[in-house]
Amino acid sequence: MDDESLSTILKAASDPTRRAILTLLAQQGPLRVTDIHSRFDMSLNSVSKHIKALERAGLVKRRTEWREHLIEVDMGPLSLIDAWFAELRSIWELRLEALDGILSKEDPEDDRPEPDRRTRHRRRA
């Protein structure tokens, strides 16, 4: 549905460091920014930025207790991606079924322009 948040989520997940952070959080549970930083050979600032990217995508949630910011993974948005994949797959399968049904009936030329190989020059609407 929401195309923009889908982009944000996928883009956030497309970075190896961010995926590693997600994995770390999944197996270790809520951690502080500093704890996460200690696992990576990278400046604390960069880690903080990555976390903010994950936060923007909704893949992690921040729970601020006293002076520590606990970061925990949120599996929710992943289902959005699942849903998109499922939709794409179903569209694809629907087309195949429809193709099956048409195979012997309609004039195939005006439905989808099936390339008529090695005839004279292709013109299409």
CA angle 47, 52, 54 (to 5 degrees): 95
Binding mask 35-64 for DNA (x = CB under 7 A): x------xxxxx-xxxxxx--------x--
Give the Cα separation of 93 and 53 in Å (integer): 34
Under rule CB under 7 A, residue 116 binds DNA: no
Residue 7 tokens, joined: 């982009």
CB of 88 to DNA, least distance (A): 18
Helices 3-13/44-56 angle, 10° precision = 150
Instruction: Give the distance between the most distant pair of CA atoms in the chain.
Output: 76
| Residues making contact with its own copies (CB under 8 A) | 3-4, 6-7, 10-11, 13-16, 19, 22-23, 26-29, 32, 35, 65-66, 68, 70, 73, 75, 78, 81-82, 84-85, 88-89, 91-92, 94-95, 99, 112-113, 115, 117-118, 122, 124
